[in-house]
Amino acid sequence: MATNSEIWEEVVIPQVLDDYVKSEKDALPVQWCHSVVIGFDYYNYKKNIWIHSWGNILPVHLNTGGDYSYHNFNGGNWIDYSGGLIFGYKINKNLGIFVEGKYNKYWNRNWHDFKLGINYIIL
């Protein structure tokens, strides 16, 4: 029970919406998507340097005929893909740096990220 409108709007309403969405999702039947995947994965590690890269392409998705199949919304087949690269350099026994980039395109939605960071090993 909310004691004022701020609590109602910030606590109660989001929880009610979350519960509703969860119950509606749980009511949907299980959806399957079978796809052909072609890809590569490369990893190389040396004493002070390492690299990991990968890429995938999904050129064919089988139409399972479900009511909510993506085939029903896009008029047929589509191509999905993703890829990434992580590069790290160990400066000394405890300290290292890395850079990472990823790109994804699935179901006609694109997203990517880029990270730059420091690794410190506590021994």
pLDDT in tens, 15-72: 899 999 999 989 988 888 889 999 999 999 999 999 999 999 999 999 888 877 888 8
**Angstrom distance (rounded) from CA 32 to CA 30:** 7
**Among 30-34, 73-77, 115-119, which range has the highest average pLDDT?**
115-119
Mean pLDDT of 70-75: 83
Q: Is 61 exposed, middle or buried (0-12, 13-18, 19+ CB in 10 A)?
A: buried
